[in-house]
Each structure stands twice: as structure tokens, then as C-alpha cells.
Chain A
């Protein structure tokens, strides 16, 4: 670890009892992955929220730049036809 005074930030993903996938729960500080897991156990699962934990160092996450929101996301806003909502479904099909 290069910086002994400031522990790096970790993002915590927890799978809850009934959940199928891990969801982002929050972030915390830890000096390494093992400590991040233990800290996550104490900070995020003490009210029995979870059955599995993933941790990933925040710096390993590449995020989209909010400044680019226009070019990234706005073009999709006026293309409602990309949702499959224009089909007439027979009544027999229950779960779509």
C-alpha cells in the first residue's frame, strides 16, 4: 500500500437473502481487500441484510463522465419505439 495514512475507498456489493444479484450498497475505507470484506460485513450486513459480499476498489471502476451525458444518453430519449411496447399481445400470454 503506497499511502499508509489514507486507506483506499472500496465499493461494496451485497446479495440479499432473496435477491438474485449483488447490489451496490455503498462504499467504505480499508487497507486491502480482506479488510474491506470484514468491514463490509460489519458496516452493511449487521442487520442480516446479506448472504454474499463483493468488494472492489473504487479506483478500478471506470465511470461515465457526466459532461458527456448529452451525447451518451439523450439520443435515446426520443426513441420510444426501442421499447417493445407496440405489439398487441394475445391475452394468453401472461407474463411479458
Chain B
């Protein structure tokens, strides 16, 4: 997309938005950021516990990439909220479970290296497709964040899809375990394409990404890798949903109690 900010191509300045528009934009940004926040937290849990020094540091790097992106989104969301008491930190640490809008996929536990890689793989494919579209957003801030993040996420995708091939086409044990993870986590993929009210409002404004158009490409993208990895593509038709509306799985409370502990115990602490 050309950088043309002089025409009505560009979205409204914040000051000219109605309350409703602001609210939708705010929720839309949180919807994007919370996926990265919770996945980053999950990967962070593995810091020092990776199967090898090299994969440990790779996971931590990805986690830090995601947190970096989250900060940009939250700083913008804080600005959009128009409320001085809202900061990137309050958005990250002071919300209650029902206010987080991440998909269920990213909160699933680090059961083993296979699950960690499959969760990453299923998310990275979506994340990359999503950001490529978000780069074309009429919202300049979101477009800029997307542009910066694409390089990072391209590497995440390279890392996770490479490991899917290695594990799937590796030993009989690695094949079996990674297949189990694929079959298990498959039911969380459809939710990536569900649209909330904020999503639909933002698509209508040219700000948001119409994820329904990404669905076919997404399943093709991951199926190609799974086939190459000699893995079976699950045929399950039942999919879980709810995370985007704040209805999370039983894992979410544990993640938050860990993640929010310091801010809840020592409010406004800094370090």
C-alpha cells in the first residue's frame, strides 16, 4: 500500500472519533495484542527449561519478540482509551480474566516440546497472514506495528514449521508425539477466524483485517507443512471457541495469577 496520508484513505484522527468508534478500536487492538501477550507468557514459562540450550534461547527470543509487539499495541490502546489511568502496564497486568481477548489456542499448556512447537506453528501461520493484511490498514499506527513485526514473525514461522518437519519426519516417537499435539490442538484453530463485534466494525472502517478471507490460505499453508512432515491432517469438525469473548479455558487463571503476581502484590512497582 502506498503511504498516502493526505486523502480520506486514512482513518479518522483519534480526536474526531465517536465514543463507540474509540471503544471498538480499543477492543480491536487488545484482541490482537492479547494473543501475543499470552503466548509470550507461555513461552516465557519455558525460560531455563527448554530441551536444549539452543531451543531454550530460541523460545525465549520468540517470547521477547512478542512482548515487544505487545508493548507497541498496548501503548496505542492506552492512547485510544482516552483515560489517563490506563497504561501499557495496567492493560497487561491489571485486567481480570474475562477482559482478556486472546484465543484459546495460545493459552494451552506447554505439555511437551511437541505441543509447544505445534501451538507455535498453528499460531505463527495465522499471525503472519494477519500481519501482512494489517500492514495495509488505514490506521497508520497499526500498519507501522505490523510492518515492523512481520520480519520477526516470519522467523517464528520459519522456526516452528522447520521443527514440525523435523519432529514429524523424525523418529517414530517424535512423529507420534507431534501427531498427538496436532490432533489435540486442531480444535482451537477455527477460533482464529471468528469475528467479534469490534472486528466487524473495524473491517467496515478499513482498519481491521477481514480474517474470513485468510482462512483457506491458512489451512493450505499449515496442511502443506504437515504433509511434508508426514503428519496426518485432522478431520475433526468440532472446534472450541470463546477466548475472544473472554470465556477462557481452565488454564487462563493460572497464567494470570503467575503473570500478574508482582503488580497485584506490589501495586505500581517498577524495576
Contacts and interface: CB of A to CB of B under 8 A. Distances in A.
A92 B89 CA distance: 63
Interface stretch (B52-60, B95-103, B254-262): B52-60
Contact of B57 (A4, A7, A43): A43
Interface stretch (A14-22, A29-37, A68-76, A79-87): A29-37
A31 B163 CA distance: 12
Nearest to B159: A38
B54 A29 contact: yes
Nearest to B59: A42
A38 B162 CA distance: 10
Contacts of A28: 53-54
Interface of A: 4, 7, 28-31, 34-35, 38-39, 42-43, 46
B162 A42 contact: no
A49 to B, nearest CB: 13
A42 B43 CA distance: 15
B159 A46 contact: no
A46 B54 contact: no
B66 to A, nearest CB: 14
B171 interface: yes
Given A42-B54, A42-B61, 17 more contacts: A7-B52, A28-B53, A28-B54, A29-B53, A29-B54, A30-B54, A34-B162, A35-B162, A35-B166, A38-B58, A38-B162, A39-B55, A39-B58, A42-B57, A42-B58, A43-B53, A46-B57
Contacts of B53: 28-29, 43
Interface of B is mostly: helix
A35 B61 CA distance: 16
A10 B239 CA distance: 43
28 contacts: A4-B171, A7-B52, A28-B53, A28-B54, A29-B52, A29-B53, A29-B54, A30-B54, A31-B166, A34-B162, A35-B162, A35-B166, A38-B58, A38-B158, A38-B159, A38-B162, A39-B54, A39-B55, A39-B58, A42-B54, A42-B57, A42-B58, A42-B61, A43-B53, A43-B54, A43-B57, A46-B57, A46-B61
Q: Most chain-A Cβ atoms within 10 A of its Cβ — which of B54, B57, B159, B166?
A: B54
Residue of B57, B158, B159 most packed against chain A (CB within 10 A):
B57
Can you list the 3 inter-chain pairs with the closest CB atoms, starting with the nearest?
Answer: A39-B54, A42-B58, A42-B57
Contacts of A34: 162
Contacts of B55: 39
Contacts of B58: 38-39, 42
Contacts of A4: 171
Interface-central residue, A7, A28, A42, A46, by most chain B CB under 10 Å: A42
A13 B61 CA distance: 20
A45 to B, nearest CB: 10
